[in-house]
Amino acid sequence: MNKDQLAKVAQAMVARGKGILAADESSGTIKKRFDAIGVESTADTRRDYREFMFRTQEAMSQYISGVILYDETIRQNAKDGTSLVKLIEAAGSLPGIKVDAGVKPLPNFPGETITEGLDGLSERMAEYYKLGARFAKWRAVIDIADGIPTRGAILANAQALARYAAICQANDIVPIVEPEVLMDGGHTLERCYEVTEFVLKTLYDELYEARVFLEGTVLKPNMIVPGKKCATQATPEQVAAQTIRVFKQTVPVAVPGIAFLSGGQADVEATANLDAINKMAKLPWHVTFSYGRALQAAPQKAWSGKEANVVAAQKAFSHRAKMNGLASKGEWSKSLEG
């Protein structure tokens, strides 16, 4: 592996004031998003949607450090024939790629899942590097419910993440490691902390065992939040305090940055929580965002599949990107949302 290149790319991914756009929705997921706005999901509409975001100069050049793509997207060209990868690069952003094959039930572990996709991954990585990808993403999913998560399921997912990360680096691609503790269900803030702490400790044990170069990685975790169905919800300050506490307990300082997933939070909620984390403490990592819906919900609604709405949709995208860019520096305030 080229450690200097990996470290340089990882640092660029978490550059001050910038974050990562997760535009890696599978065909099934993007169809659900398009159904909600009355747009048919076709290769052309998916391209048109992502193209207008990648051509949003203010957002892409000032607030977006990298874009996670889906296999279809990394191979697509814009209407004028320019590859979408080239559009991203022209804005000064880094192309990335989702490489996992999704979650499947974990045998003998009822209610728990394992992420698949390791078979043939090294060969796919080599191809993605030629297509322009300089980082990748693999998502593990940990649910909280009665009797779960179990140690066995957490360990299996951590081992898969570590193996994926090692394969990435062998191909000079920076791995985003994403162990997502879901915010579904009725669990408390304290339970989320307890599970996340165990998940992250297990993950970094496995990354060490796999000899992963930590300076060439980016962590994409959940924040410490209560479940959506919990009777007691948390303020941004409570989320920030517990999130900071868990990362100080678990994440090595060699890791260059933490780029949070939004995990189902509303867009302004995700921004407020990120801002509170950055306002509360000086941390040894760059702490920023890697948001999907929290960046895209507003521009999707504004666009609604109509060419006439592209400018308004780009403005909506720029606004959300700017708000999160400010939050990544602890400089956001709710008054700016107007």
| Amino acid in position 192 | C
- The mean of the pLDDT values for the chain is 97
Average pLDDT over residues 228-236: 96
Report the alpha-carbon distance of residue 64 to residue 187 in Å, rounded: 33
Maximum distance among all alpha carbons in the chain? 53
Tell me, what's the pLDDT at 11? Answer: 98
pLDDT value of position 201: 98
Residue for token pair 């400790």: 201
Residue 338 pLDDT > 90: no
Q: How far apart, in whole angstroms, are the C-alpha atoms of residue 183 and residue 195?
A: 11
B/e letters for 19-53, b = 16+ CB within 10 Å, e = fewer, are bbbbbbbeeeebbebbeeeebebeeeebbbbbbbb
Q: How far is CA 114 from the centre of its chain?
A: 18
Q: What is the 3-state secondary structure (H, E, C) of 6-73?
A: HHHHHHHHCCCCCEEEEECCCHHHHHHHHHHCCCCCCHHHHHHHHHHHHCCHHHHHHCEEEEEECHHH
The alpha carbon torsion through 261, 263, 269, 271 (nearest 10 deg) reads 10
Which of 313, 316, 227 lies closest to 264 in space, CA to CA?
227
- Chain centroid to CA 241: 21
List CB contacts of 146: < 8 A, sequence separation 6 or more.
none
The crossing angle, in degrees rounded to 10, of helices 310-327 and 267-280 is 20
Q: What is the pTM of this model?
A: 0.97
pLDDT band at 218 (very low <50, low <70, confident <90, very high): very high
| Domains of the chain (ranges, CATH numbers) | 3-337 (3.20.20.70)
Mean pLDDT of 95-124: 98
Phi, psi of 222 (to 5 degrees): -80, 155
- How far apart CA 30 and CA 40 sit, in angstroms, is 10
Active site residues: 178, 220
pLDDT (tens digit per residue) in 28-75: 999 999 999 999 999 999 999 999 999 999 999 999 999 999 999 999
Instruction: Output the six-digit token pair for 63.
Output: 């607030």
- At 284-332, the pLDDT tens digits run 999 999 999 999 999 999 999 999 999 999 999 999 999 999 999 999 9
What's the average model confidence in pLDDT over 86-96? 98
